[in-house]
Chain A
Amino acid sequence: MTDQQQGAQDAHDAFLSDTTSIFGREITIQGGIYTVVFILLAVATVLEIIIGGLPEGVLLIPLLLAFAVIKATLVVMYYMHLKTDSRLFTWVLILPLLIALAAMLYLLAAPPTGYT
């Protein structure tokens, strides 16, 4: 068994066990890492909603976007197993993201009306 396969095997087991360690602390909970991630997602969402209620500020939008990105990353990394799966999948995800993002930024930057 190559180390690469070995690593995948360990990850697999990690997903199955009910105890997982985050920030070095061991915690045991039914559902293991999956449940931990779910709790994180829930908390993040609550925070988002609270922040969203705050009065407009310069940092508001970047902050909210950051939250969205973090939540998405959690789902992709743990629920879609990108963290432990083949690197190839990462590329298959990154490439379209970059292209879609570039297109979006272009449309945002190009003045939609008027002609300058």
Chain B
Amino acid sequence: MSEATLEHGPAAPSAETIDNYKLGMWLYLASEVVIFGTLIAVYAVYRLNNAESVQHVQEELGLTLVSINTFLLLASSWAMVLGLREAQKDNPQGIVRWIGLTALLGTIFVVLQGVEYTELGHAGIHLGNEYGMRFYAPTAFHGAHVIIGVLWALYVMKQARKGVYNAKNYLGIEIFGLYWHFVDVVWIFLFTLIYLI
């Protein structure tokens, strides 16, 4: 065996190529699933054993505000993918427009959630309540994720303006998309579990 064969040129991919960042983001989301799972479980246990008192609070809550919020978030996801689509179509302005819409919708969502919280506060539902704490923990944790998402969207817009993204390179948007859609999915469950059931 000769020294020469100890090392050679660049290695060929040993399997189907998956981008590092994409896999990394998916793994991160995997752990997020478990955290949200824990918080939701805590709520679900209470809901199971205190059906009537939850019913009562749900009447307090009402559905208008949160229904609007749900549509906002769904729409923001839609805007998000269309932004990605523009990138794949080599259209920077398109990206800025759609991602901008995403950020806007996200912001409104947070604001409305703030409004809802203050209303609930007046209705006497706060962290000290048996219901309150179990309600705020998951929703506020989700809200925090939306805020982070909005900031991230602004960053993506900045990059897009710089013309970073194009049909060849739209990974940055795709990764952000994964995060944003995940936050959307979490809301889909929170909406059904906390407000409808």
Contacts and interface: CB of A to CB of B under 8 A. Distances in A.
Contact of B85 (A31, A76, A95): A31
B182 to A, nearest CB: 7
Contacts of B158: none
Nearest to B42: A107
Interface string A50-62: 0110000000110
Contacts of B41: 100, 103-104, 107-108
Interface string B1-42: 000000000000000101000110011011101101110111
B185 interface: yes
Given A4-B16, A103-B37, A35 B85 contact: no
Interface residues of A, number: 48
A101 interface: yes
B18 A88 contact: yes
A113 B40 CA distance: 19
A97 B33 contact: yes
The majority secondary structure among interface residues of chain A is helix
A67 B189 CA distance: 10
A51 B191 CA distance: 14
B40 A104 contact: yes
Nearest to B174: A81
Contact of B30 (A76, A92, A108, A112): A92
A112 B49 contact: yes
Contacts of A42: 71, 74
Contacts of B34: 96, 99-100
A5 to B, nearest CB: 8
A15 B78 CA distance: 13
A80 B185 CA distance: 10
A92 B44 contact: no
Given A75-B188, A93-B30, A103-B37, A45 B78 contact: no
A100 B85 CA distance: 33
28 contacts: A15-B85, A16-B85, A34-B82, A34-B85, A38-B78, A41-B74, A49-B63, A52-B197, A64-B197, A67-B192, A68-B189, A72-B185, A72-B189, A75-B185, A76-B185, A78-B81, A80-B177, A80-B181, A80-B182, A92-B26, A93-B29, A96-B33, A100-B34, A100-B36, A104-B37, A107-B44, A107-B45, A108-B45
Interface of B: 16, 18, 22-23, 26-27, 29-31, 33-34, 36-38, 40-42, 44-45, 48-49, 63, 67, 70-71, 74-75, 77-78, 80-82, 85, 88-89, 177-178, 181-182, 184-185, 188-189, 191-193, 195-197
Given A80-B178, A99-B34, A108-B48, 20 more contacts: A16-B85, A37-B78, A38-B78, A45-B70, A67-B192, A68-B189, A68-B192, A68-B193, A71-B188, A75-B77, A75-B181, A75-B185, A85-B22, A89-B26, A92-B26, A93-B26, A93-B30, A96-B33, A101-B37, A103-B37
